[in-house]
Each structure stands twice: as C-alpha cells, then as structure tokens.
C-alpha cells in the first residue's frame, strides 16, 4: 500500500511525520520511505541509515553534432521551451530547460541532434533495520522536478513489490510535482497546522485531492497553538482527523537537531499509533 504525506503549505511537519511514522512502523513491520521533495529533500537528515546504493538519474536531452548540421534552425523552431537555440553558426542546448520531448531530435532533417542522457539528479538508497529509505535530489538550476519524481517512484515500484507499507514524503504546494508524487498513492495524509495559513493551504490541498479522486485524512500538527477552525472545517466537510500532534517547544528543539520524536515524547507516539491504526483500518476496508 502506498501512502503519500502531503500538505499545501511548506513547513507544517511533513518530514517530521514521514520520518517518525516510518521509523515507528519499522519497529514491527518492514517499511520503505521515499523522499519525493526532490527540490529540498530533508528526510535523510533525520535518519541515520547505511548507504547501500547510489545512482545518478538521467533525462534524455539532445546533443548537437555539427558534422551534418545545415543550421536550418528547425530545432529552435519546434522547441516550445526555449531549450534549443541557434546562435550564429552554433546550436546551443540548455539542458535545464529541456523537457525531453524529442521533437528537435526526431524532426531534424540531418539527424544532428541525437538524444543523450544528462544527469538531472541523484538517488540514494539507505538501509536501516526494517526500513529502506530512498531520497532523490535535483541538481541546482534544474527546473523540472517531475521526471525525477517519476523515476524515483519507478525505483520503488521495481524493487519493493512485497513491502507492505510504502510511504512517500511529497513536495509542498498544489502544482505538478505534488500531482506526480501523489497520483499513484492509495491514501494521502495531509499534514497541517491549526493556523489561518494552515487552514487556507489545507483547503487547497483538499481540492487537489478531490480533483485526483484520492482517499485522504488530516493530521493536525502543532495542535493547541492556534485556533479550532481546522477542526470545524474537517467536521463540516466530513474529512477524518486522524491524529493531533501536540505543539511544544521540545519538539522544535528535537527537530532542529535532526532527532526523531516519539522515543522521547510518549504523547507523540500515541498520535503516531493512531495514524498507523487508521492506515491499517483503511487497508482492511479496501481489500
């Protein structure tokens, strides 16, 4: 079963939940956690695993071969992303802008733009007891997160067919990377905080999940700090509130040092157990 952890707003505690939840599940069941926030992956900062595999991830981009090129400029003309440009007697390719559609390459009358692999990021696979952790990181300047997210999900799909729980830490927001990261998930856990910003961004996230026709529930982080409007909103819209992780300075301190919470804070562990129960119950329902 695939569980995606998402939120409209950044900084609500997605990574905190992902890492703590995965680690707690791993105490009894094998679990794989994947950080799909490839622009700013952070989960790895909280998990001290052994690196067992490391691979570069590539996308296909055109490379100019000047031998037969007649400088006709067709490549530049067909590119919708300004990624190929004729400059004087040269053809320049901007790898970060290229979406890999192959149009310039395949429509070139002289086959002067063969597609070659170009590194866009790297994937690392770490091993902890009962827990596999995978993260991908985009090269700075690379503009498209979606292909790397897609390839990372494929890495999981190919290798973890038997693993019961697959948790995905998604990027924030409601734009394409989030859709790519959540579209295959069976269940989405939306993390929010009880503040006006949290509520506003949760509403956006909920709309996205509705559009994707996904099952979802809400986890309120920093519970007790703001107001009760999130709870009202969830009740009015029949959205299950799965758990409420309390607000405390101690949590902020542990987080800042890259430490997991539930061993030191039983009140957090209780809430994480509620999340696990919710997942198990959902799993029974869909089977």
Partner 1 sequence: MKILLTAKGTEWDSQMDPRFGRTEFFFIYNDETEKVETFDNRAIENEAHGAGPKTAQKMAEFGVNVLITGNGPGGNADTVVRQTGTKVFVGAGSMTVKEAYDAYKKGDLKEA
Partner 2 sequence: MKEIVVISGKGGTGKTSVTASLAFLGGSDLIVADCDVDAADMHLLMKPVNSKKESFFSGVIAKIDQDKCINCGKCADICRWNAIPVIDEKYVVQPLDCEGCGYCALVCPVQAISMNEQNVGEWIISDVRTNTKMVHARLGIGAENSGKLVAKVKNEAKALSDKLGKKFIVVDGSPGIGCPVVSSLSGANLVVLVTEPSVSGIHDVKRVYELVKKFGIKAGCIINKADINLDKVKEIYNFLETENIELISEIPYNENFTKAMTMGKTIVEFDPDGIGEIIKKSWEKIKELAR
The single residue among 143, 184, 231, 267 that binds partner 1, judged by CB under 8 A, is: 143
Closest CA to 89 of 65, 71, 114: 71
- Give the integer Cα–Cα distance in Å for 88 and 105: 20
Cβ distance to partner 1 smaller for residue 94 or 102: 94
User: Taking the complex as a whole, how short is the minimal distance between the CB of residue 97 and partner 1, in angstroms?
Assistant: 5
Cβ distance to partner 2 smaller for residue 118 or 222: 222
- Give the integer Cα–Cα distance in Å for 252 and 263: 15
The single residue among 30, 71, 81, 200 that binds partner 1, judged by CB under 8 A, is: 81
C-alpha triplet 143, 146, 149: angle, nearest 5°: 120
- Give the integer Cα–Cα distance in Å for 60 and 106: 13
- Give the integer Cα–Cα distance in Å for 153 and 35: 10
Residue 91 sits at φ, ψ, to 5 deg, of -110, 125
Range in contact with partner 1 (rule: CB under 8 A) among 92-100, 201-209, 213-221, 271-279: 92-100
Cβ distance to partner 2 smaller for residue 46 or 126: 46
- Give the integer Cα–Cα distance in Å for 35 and 201: 21
Cβ distance to partner 2 smaller for residue 165 or 216: 216
Q: Are 53 and 133 in contact (CB under 8 A)?
A: no
Cβ distance to partner 1 smaller for residue 97 or 101: 97
Chain residues binding partner 2 by CB under 8 A are 8-13, 15, 39-40, 42, 45-46, 78, 80-81, 99-103, 106-107, 138, 140-141, 143-145, 171-176, 179, 195-197, 200-201, 204, 207-208, 211, 222, 225-227, 247, 249, 252-253, 255-258
User: Taking the complex as a whole, how short is the minimal distance between the CB of residue 188 and partner 2, in angstroms?
Assistant: 14
- Give the integer Cα–Cα distance in Å for 17 and 15: 5
Q: Under the rule (CB under 8 A), what is the footprint of partner 1?
A: 81-83, 85-88, 90, 92, 94, 96-97, 141, 143
């Amino acid at each position: 079963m695939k569980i995606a952890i998402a939120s409209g707003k950044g900084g609500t505690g997605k990574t905190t939940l992902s890492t703590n939840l995965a680690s707690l599940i791993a105490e009894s069941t094998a679990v794989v956690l994947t950080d799909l926030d490839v622009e700013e992956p952070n989960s790895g900062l909280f998990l001290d695993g052994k690196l067992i595999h490391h691979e570069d991830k590539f996308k296909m981009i055109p490379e100019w071969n000047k031998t037969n090129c007649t400088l006709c400029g067709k490549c530049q003309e067909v590119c919708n992303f300004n990624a190929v440009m004729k400059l004087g007697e040269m053809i320049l390719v901007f790898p970060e802008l290229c979406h890999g559609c192959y149009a310039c390459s395949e429509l070139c009358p002289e086959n002067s733009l063969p597609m070659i692999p170009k590194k866009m990021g790297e994937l690392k696979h770490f091993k902890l007891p009962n827990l596999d952790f995978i993260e991908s990181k985009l090269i700075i300047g690379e503009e498209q997160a979606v292909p790397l997210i897609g390839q990372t999900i494929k890495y999981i799909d190919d290798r973890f067919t038997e693993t019961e729980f697959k948790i995905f830490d998604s990027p924030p927001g409601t734009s394409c990377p989030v859709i790519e990261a959540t579209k295959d998930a069976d269940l989405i856990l939306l993390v929010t905080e009880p503040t006006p910003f949290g509520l506003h961004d949760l509403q956006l996230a909920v709309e996205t999940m509705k559009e994707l026709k996904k099952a979802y529930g809400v986890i309120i982080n920093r519970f007790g700090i703001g107001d009760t409007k999130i709870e009202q909103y969830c009740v009015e819209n029949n959205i299950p509130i799965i758990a409420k992780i309390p607000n405390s300075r101690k949590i902020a301190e542990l987080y800042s040092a890259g430490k997991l919470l539930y061993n030191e804070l039983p009140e957090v562990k209780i809430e994480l157990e509620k999340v696990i129960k919710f997942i198990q119950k959902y799993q029974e329902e869909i089977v």
